Amino acid sequence: MKTSKKKRITIGTVNIGERARELVEDAFLRNRISSGRYVRRFEELLEEFHGVKCAVAVSSGTDAGTIALSALKEDGVNDGDEVIMPALNFISVANSAIHAHLKPVFVDVDRKTFNIDPDLIEEKITNRTRVLIPTHLFGKPVDMKRVLDIAEENDLFVVEDACEALGSRYKGELLGTFGIFGTFSFYVAHIITTGEGGAIITGDNRYDGILRSLRSHGRACACKVCQLNVDSGECPYRFDVEDGDLEDKRFYFLRIGYSAKMNEIEAALGIEQMEKIEEVITKRNENLTYLSGILEDLGEYMVMMRQEAHEFISPLCMPMVIREDVPIERADIVNYLEERGVETRPTFGSIPTQHPAYRFLGYEYGSFPNAEWIGRKGFYVGIHQNIDKGDLEYIAECIHDFFKLKGLR
């Protein structure tokens, strides 16, 4: 074996350049660090990139999901209605449903894609089902044709969880643009980062004011030129209250909302990265293609994410799941990689059966065999834009050496 410890190869990365530093300094000099003009500019870049009418920046991907679901309450969704989602996921999607007073209903995933299995969705639909959330896990597109067909046949809203899939495409179209809403996260390990942060996009402009209101406590003052949302200049609509005797929209509330605004510092980081987004996703995709190619000979031992002809993946990471008949434990390979400077993460798990937080729903272990297998046997490594070909070759070399050590090569 020739592997030796080298620099740490991380899951995520942070790129803060001169452009972001200048914007941050300007925000400080203007004495405006809460939500303002840079948040609006970041939203405009998201709108332009996705070709949509509305993007609303918020404080996290979790808040993006919660606010998107809450906005549907103004379109006939009621407390206690059901939201179908994949069992395998980061827990925030289920939490968003709970925060919006809706009931999460889980569906097992496909063993090859790690995404919700369309063949299992319809059996979970009841007369209380109103929303379907396809999660594009790790950046891999869900079969959106199947999902949209099911949603149309059953009169369901589709809210895409694209938190890990900024820039990924299904049949040429960007993820997040297929449903009524698309939600994104800009956590430090994601495609771009604002430290924390998230966004909701929609092609339906009816929801623009509703989303902006919900992210700011339910304020009536929620248009794109609002003083609170754009800058400290005077808002021309501030005193246009049409109902009631509280004339100032800034302190007049139409609905019960959240405190979920993005701030100027976060937006400054996002602006710089969105201005370079094509470079970022191209490099990530190239890294996925290269690493999957040099690990292809290990397919008999692990299931790995693959890019199909109909899709373009902007990957969060490179997930790998040890096959059930392979006599090794995830902890062994993870420890081996970590000792050699390769950072790893587990591939989440089955939310209803592997996390104590959701035991109250009453699902029995074994109800989601694919999600549970991935939860037990899966892990992932980084393939972000700051990882070069030499890093990828080192990762592959470490993994190959591990299997040799176990007598499997």
pLDDT tens readout for residues 64-121 = 999 999 999 999 999 999 999 999 999 999 999 999 999 999 999 999 999 999 999 9
Same domain flag for 244 and 310: no
Residue 183 β-bridge partners: 161, 200
Residue with more model confidence, 231 or 332: 332
**Residue 181 belongs to domain with CATH number:** 3.40.640.10
**Is the per-residue pLDDT at 39 higher than 80?**
yes
- Segment (H or E) for 148: helix 144-154
Q: Is 101 a catalytic residue?
A: no
Same domain flag for 266 and 374: no
Range of the domain at 325: 277-405
Same domain flag for 308 and 164: no
**Would you call 70 exposed, middle or buried from its count of C-beta atoms within 10 A (0-12, 13-18, 19+)?**
buried
Looking at the chain, the number of H-run helices and the number of E-run strands are 12, 14
d(CA 233, CA 236): 9
Residue 6 included in any domain: no
Find how far residue 205's CA is from the centre of its chain.
22
Same domain flag for 252 and 390: no
d(CA 72, CA 88): 24
**Residue 375 belongs to domain with CATH number:** 3.90.1150.10
Residue 8 included in any domain: no
pLDDT at position 227: 40
Same domain flag for 296 and 193: no
Residue 91 included in any domain: yes
Of 218, 249, 274, the last residue of a domain is: 274
Of residues 136, 190, 384, 400, which has the active-site annotation? 190
CB 157 within 8 A of CB 31: no
For residue 249, what is the DSSP state?
G
Residue with more model confidence, 380 or 408: 380
- Segment (H or E) for 183: strand 181-185
Same domain flag for 117 and 131: yes
At 154-198, the pLDDT tens digits run 999 999 999 999 999 999 999 999 999 999 999 999 999 999 999
Same domain flag for 251 and 305: no
pLDDT at position 3: 58
Amino acid at 108: D
Same domain flag for 265 and 286: no
Instruction: Quote the mean pLDDT of the chain.
Output: 94
Of 216, 243, 274, the last residue of a domain is: 274
> Is residue 231 very low, low, confident or very high in pLDDT (cuts 50, 70, 90)?
low
Same domain flag for 58 and 159: yes
Rg (CA), the chain: 22
Same domain flag for 184 and 131: yes
d(CA 386, CA 286): 12
Of 274, 289, 315, the last residue of a domain is: 274
List the structure tokens of 370: 């694919």
d(CA 188, CA 170): 25
CA dihedral for 349, 352, 354, 355, sign (positive or negative): positive
The stretch 344-363 carries a mean pLDDT of 97
pLDDT at position 409: 75
Amino acid at 18: E
**Is the per-residue pLDDT at 225 higher than 80?**
no
Q: Among all chains, which residue has been given the structure tokens 């994104």?
A: 184
Residue 2 included in any domain: no
d(CA 381, CA 305): 12
Residue 1 included in any domain: no
List the structure tokens of 240: 């246009």
List the structure tokens of 51: 């070709």
For residue 187, what is the DSSP state?
B
The stretch 251-276 carries a mean pLDDT of 94
d(CA 225, CA 230): 6
Residue 307 included in any domain: yes
**Is the per-residue pLDDT at 393 higher than 80?**
yes
> What residue spans of 2-83 are helical by DSSP H?
18-29, 37-50, 61-71
d(CA 81, CA 42): 33
d(CA 349, CA 326): 19
> What residue spans of 82-176 are helical by DSSP H?
92-99, 144-154
d(CA 193, CA 186): 4
Same domain flag for 370 and 396: yes
Q: Among all chains, which residue has been given the structure tokens 């827990």?
A: 91
Residue 10 included in any domain: no
The number of folded domains in the chain is 2
Residue 178 included in any domain: yes
Same domain flag for 370 and 354: yes
